[in-house]
Chains A and B, each alone.
Chain A
C-alpha cells in the first residue's frame, strides 16, 4: 500500500509531474520576462498537456504503431523511475542502493534514446534528422555530464546518492569544484535540448526534430517526461553542488535558483550548430571535466597518505 502510494503520488508519479509542469511555467515565464514579454499564465503547461491528451493521435503510415505508441510511455516511465532515487522535497530516497547514481543518470538517458528512436521510426526526413542530431548530441554531452556528476561521488567516496548528499550537505562543493558544477548545468541543458543546445529540435530548420510526427498523447507524454527530467536533474545538481537538500524550503529555493541560472543562459545565447556543439563538448567540456576529476583523485590519494 505504501509502495503504491510512493509510486503514484509522492516521490513517484503525480508530484513530480506537477512539479515539472510548474517548473516549465517558471522557465517560460522568466524567459518571457527577460525578453520583455508578459509570458504565459500559471496554468499554461497544464492546459497544453491536457489539450494534447485530448487530441487525435495520428500514426503515420510506415511506422510501427506499437513502437510509435510505446516509446513515449517508456520514456516517461524511465524518468519517473529516476525520480524515485533523488531527494525530492529534501526527503532522502528510501530505495537507494550502492551505485544508484549511475542508474539514475542512465535512466535519464533512456529519455533521449526514446526520443531518437521515435524520430527514426518514421520515414519523415525531419524526424530522421532530428533523431541523428539528438544522438550526436547525446554522445557529446553524456561523458562530460557523467564526469561532472561523478566529481562529488569521488570526494564522497561513494556512488550512492544518499551518501553523497550526506557528504555534500553543509559544504558547498561548487566552491571546490566550480568546473564540475558548470559542466553539470550545461550538460543538463544539453540533455533537455534547451535553447543554446536545441539543434535537435530547431524549429526554424527541421520543424520539430524527432517529435515532428507526434500529435496527441505521444507528444504530451514526451513533454511530461522532459519536465520530470528537468526536476530530477535540477535536484541532483542542487543537492550535489549547492550544499545538499535538507528540507522542502531548501529544495524549492536551490532548484529554483539553479533554474534561474539556466534561464539566463537560455536567453543569452543563440543556438549552436551541431558540429560546434560536438567540438565544444569534447574539446573543452570533456577535457576540463577530466582534468578536474584527475585532480580530485590525486587530492584524495594525497590526503589519504
Chain B
C-alpha cells in the first residue's frame, strides 16, 4: 500500500516537473535599467525568435508568472517594488537577471541612488551576461533554467536509487 502511494506521488511529481519545464510563463520587471536590456527582451518575444514554441509566454500579472526576468541595477525606489513583485508570485518561482547591471550594478555601480545588483534584493537563479545581451543569450538563459529544473529531477532520482 505504501509502495503504491509512493509510486503515485512520484508520478504526480514527474508530471509537475514536466509541466513546469514545458510551460514557463514570464514576467518582466525593470528596476532601473537603461532600457537597452528591455528592448532586447522585447526583441526576444517577437515573431523572429518566437518563444511560444517553447511554451514561454509573457504575462502581465505576477500572479500568473513562474519566471521573473529582471533587468538593470536596483535603485532605492525600485527595491520595494521589486521585492513586492517577487513576493506576489506563487511558488515555485524563479528569477533570471539579464544584463551586466543586473548582475553587478554595471555602469551604474557606485551611483548615489543605487542599492546594488538584483541578488542583493531577491534570490537569482540564472545570470545572463552582456550589455545588453543578445536575444539568443536570453533564450539560452531561460533554457539553462529549465535544464536546472530537469537536473534537479535527475538528482532526486539518483538520491532515490541510492537510498
**A→B interface (CB under 8 Å):** 28, 32, 35-41, 43-44, 47-48, 50-51, 54-58, 126, 203-204, 207-208, 211-216, 219
Contact = CB atoms under 8 A, between A and B. Distances in A.
B10 to A, nearest CB: 14
A38 B53 contact: yes
For the residues of A in contact with B, the DSSP-based class is loop
B64 A215 contact: yes
B52 interface: yes
Contacts of B50: 32, 37-39
Contacts of A47: 18-19, 22-23, 55
A208 B60 contact: yes
A204 B45 CA distance: 15
B50 to A, nearest CB: 4
B104 interface: no
Interface residues of B, number: 22
A208 B66 CA distance: 15
B23 A48 contact: yes
Given A37-B47, A55-B91, A208 B64 contact: yes
Nearest to A50: B19
Given A51-B23, A55-B91, A40 B63 contact: no
A43 B92 CA distance: 21
Interface string B100-132: 000000000000000000000000000000000
B42 to A, nearest CB: 12
A58 B55 contact: no
A39 B47 CA distance: 9
A211 B79 CA distance: 26
A41 B59 CA distance: 19
A215 B90 contact: yes
Given A51-B66, A54-B20, A208 B55 contact: no
A39 B22 contact: no
B53 A41 contact: yes
B84 to A, nearest CB: 13
Interface in B26-69: 47, 50, 52-53, 55, 59-61, 63-64, 66
11 contacts: A38-B52, A47-B22, A47-B23, A50-B23, A51-B22, A207-B60, A207-B61, A208-B60, A208-B64, A212-B60, A214-B64
Given A48-B23, A58-B90, A208 B59 contact: yes
Contacts of A35: 47
A39 B51 CA distance: 8
Contacts of B92: 55-56
A48 B55 CA distance: 8
A40 B52 contact: yes
A28 B56 CA distance: 13
B53 A54 contact: no
A215 B63 contact: yes
Nearest to A31: B52
Contacts of B64: 208, 211, 214-215, 219
A39 B16 CA distance: 23
